[in-house]
Structure 1
Amino acid sequence: MDDWLIDDERLSIERKSVLPGEGFFYPETLEETEREREAADRLTDAETVVIADTDADGLACVALLETQFGEVSLLPASPHDLGRAIEWAAEYVDPGTHVFVCDLCPDAPEDLDALGALVDQAGAVRWFDHHQWEPDLAEAVETAGVELTVGDSEAVCTADVALGELDGDFEERFVELAAVTRDHDLWIREDPRSDDLADLAHWVEPDEYVDIIREHGADLPPEAEELLAERRIEKDALIEKAVERAQLREIGPWTVGVTYGRCSQNEVAQALREQGADAAVIVKPAGSASIRGTETFERAHEVAAQVNGGGHPKAAGCKPDVYDDMLDYAHHWTTRGAVAKQAIIDAFRRLEVESD
């Protein structure tokens, strides 16, 4: 396949909105081989390892750990590849290495298959999180010998959990950093800096983001603000496209806004709330979807759990199991996610409605 076919730089906003990014088109086997090589390089000879989600919350935890322990090695992970990250850590960390897992929640028992081997190899394993955990998975983690701390998902972010559990005497800027990170992660949106942190974490490399927030906390330097201003031109255009193609659906007692596009899901969800949606579903070109709730719908994690996902009452993610081959993805792009949308809508319909 010619490179120009997947070159983001040449695409119009309309086409970029409906197609996944370049990385989607690289075979997972090639990507996994490269990622494992990078993991081995990062983990070998490291004294402290952090397996973390690379959003602002997970990386705030990395910044706190690096401030307390000095240099740490970050192994990036997501909920969908947590098991693989644990497996690589078990294979490549040196005996006695301190390992932390931050801002990640296992979706299924198989995500923890290598956890026992990691505990045997490492000096100690601690796990900080704030998502909704299934009791059996929490028990499995603790039975493996991991010190697990899960905060209230409606009150704290994982950075809050790490700040409370670590013994370091952290400067005030780190306390403020956790508070501003929480403002975005829990979708409170009272501090405008929280959107800046979330966007910057998405647009720069994880190690660079950690360096910036360790030095500056939540008050970003001018060069970071300039980058944000430049990148938000395209971001805003993609948000506009997703909002334009959204539809409001009445599902049981709820109004659900449903849309499709490569976009920043939180801003799209906010726009749909302003149109009267109790919940928002944003299906992405790569096949995953974000589900956002409101004060009138706090069951996003229940919807996501039915379609290969999980998360919080007001913020969850999933990837419906509806893609068998590239023809299914072609249909997905040309129909703007019709099959995935229907799978998630059906999950809303299966929720039991409490009677008054």
Structure 2
Amino acid sequence: MEDWVIDDENLSLERKSLLPGEGFFVPDSLEEQKEEQEAQEALSGADVAVVADPDADGLAATALVREAYGEGALIDAGPHDLDDALERVVAYSEPDATVFVCDLCPDAYEPIAEELTVLVAEANEVYWFDHHQWDDTVADAVRDAGVELVVGESDEECTADVVARSLDYDFPDYLVELAAVTRDHDLWLREDPRSDDLADYSYWSEPEEYMAVIQEHGADLPEEVRQFLAEQRVEKDALVERAVERADVKEIGDWTVGVTYGRCSQNEVAEAMRERGADASVVVKPAGSASIRGTDEFQRCHEVARQVNGGGHPKAAGCKPDIYDDMLDYAHHWTTQGAVAKQVILDGFRNLEPENDDSEEANEE
């Protein structure tokens, strides 16, 4: 296949909205080789290692660790490749290293059990800081393995908040403020305009580039970064507009659910659908994953996501339905604008058990 076929620069904006980015078409085996080499280079000689989600919250948490410990080799990971990340820390970090896992919540313990057991045996200490909705059995298993696990309230704290209060260190004001601004976006409070800048910059830049900037400037990004964001947002806004235009509204039980498809910023699309009356929004991506966003009227996004290979928070969750067996399935996904994925996720809303208001009121009393 010629490189130009998947080169984003050769795509019209409409086609770019409907297709995944070129990274999707790189085989996992090649990506894993690259990640293995990068991990070895980052962890060689490291006495402190951080495994973190490379979004604004995970990277802010890493910045706090680096501030407190003076170092911290970063290995970025998601919930589905967490076992690989832990294995790389064991293989390449220094013996008796101090290891942190930040902003990651495993769906089950078994996939990481072996790697975590070995890591705890070889590391000096292993800390795990998070704020997602944890299954109690998974949390108990992680703690029983010898990990110091601290999970904050998902509707009150981001992971950076958890790190800031958990480490015995007097953080400078600008990093405490960084955690607060990161929380503003991560919990979708939208009270500080700087939080959108942090979220966008963490998405459009490489993790180490982002880290260097926030470690020096905190939440107040320098002018050259703000200019970069302004340029990037021209295309971002156009992709958001296309996703909003193709959105449908479904009435499911007592809820109005907006559902759409496209390569776009899911938070802005969800906000537009909320303004149109949606209690919850589903944004299916060309790569096969989906984002689920809620409102004050719908705070069960994580319950929907858990039914389709995902998880998250009451008002914000993500998933990737297990419906793609080969490239024909992906081709159908692109040409139908995610029809099967939409149906599977909407079924998740339909399958929710009714909330027992009487029991909740009794418990509150």
TM-score, normalised to structure 1, is 0.98
Determine the structure 2 residue equivalent to 1:256. Answer: 257
Determine the structure 1 residue equivalent to 2:360. Answer: none
Determine the structure 2 residue equivalent to 1:36. Answer: 36
Determine the structure 1 residue equivalent to 2:307. Answer: 306
Give the unaligned 5+ runs of structure 2.
358-365
Q: Which amino acid aligns with 1:191?
A: D
Give CA-to-partner distance per residue, 1:77-134, whole Å, 9 cap, x none. Answer: 0122112111222222221111000000001223322100011111110000000000
Distance 1:93 1:217 in 2: 28
Determine the structure 2 residue equivalent to 1:10. Answer: 10
Distance 1:155 1:355 in 2: 23
Give CA-to-partner distance per residue, 1:218-252, whole Å, 9 cap, x none. Answer: 11100110100000000000000100000010011
Q: Which amino acid aligns with 2:97?
A: T
Give CA-to-partner distance per residue, 1:182-227, whole Å, 9 cap, x none. Answer: 0000000000000000000111111111111111111110011010
Q: 1:99 aligns to what SS in structure 2?
A: strand
> How do residues 86-235 of structure 1 correspond to structure 2 at under 5 angstroms?
86-113=86-113, 114-235=115-236
Q: Does structure 1 conserve the Cα–Cα contact (< 8 Å) formed by 2:184 and 2:191?
A: yes
Shift of 1:355: 5.9
Q: 1:152 to 1:355 in 2, by over 3 A?
A: closer
Distance 1:89 1:303 in 2: 33
Which region of structure 1 is more displaced relative to structure 2, 75-84 or 223-232?
A: 75-84
Distance 2:181 2:313 in 1: 18
Distance 1:287 1:84 in 2: 21
Distance 2:182 2:222 in 1: 17
Q: Does structure 2 conserve the Cα–Cα contact (< 8 Å) formed by 1:60 and 1:177?
A: yes
Q: Does structure 2 conserve the Cα–Cα contact (< 8 Å) formed by 1:242 and 1:261?
A: yes
Distance 1:110 1:23 in 2: 29
Q: Does structure 2 conserve the Cα–Cα contact (< 8 Å) formed by 1:93 and 1:122?
A: no
Give CA-to-partner distance per residue, 1:13-60, whole Å, 9 cap, x none. Answer: 100001000010011111112111211221121010000001000000
Q: 1:219 aligns to what SS in structure 2?
A: coil
Q: Which amino acid aligns with 2:264?
A: C
Q: Which amino acid aligns with 1:81?
A: D
Distance 1:331 1:132 in 2: 33
> How do residues 280-291 of structure 1 correspond to structure 2 at under 5 angstroms?
280-291=281-292
TM-score, normalised to structure 2, is 0.96
Distance 1:55 1:14 in 2: 26
Q: 1:282 aligns to what SS in structure 2?
A: strand
Which region of structure 1 is more displaced relative to structure 2, 221-230 or 70-79?
A: 70-79
Q: Does structure 1 conserve the Cα–Cα contact (< 8 Å) formed by 2:109 and 2:142?
A: no
Q: Give aligned-pair identity as a percent.
A: 66
Q: Does structure 1 conserve the Cα–Cα contact (< 8 Å) formed by 2:86 and 2:119?
A: yes
Q: Which amino acid aligns with 1:337?
A: G
Determine the structure 2 residue equivalent to 1:26. Answer: 26
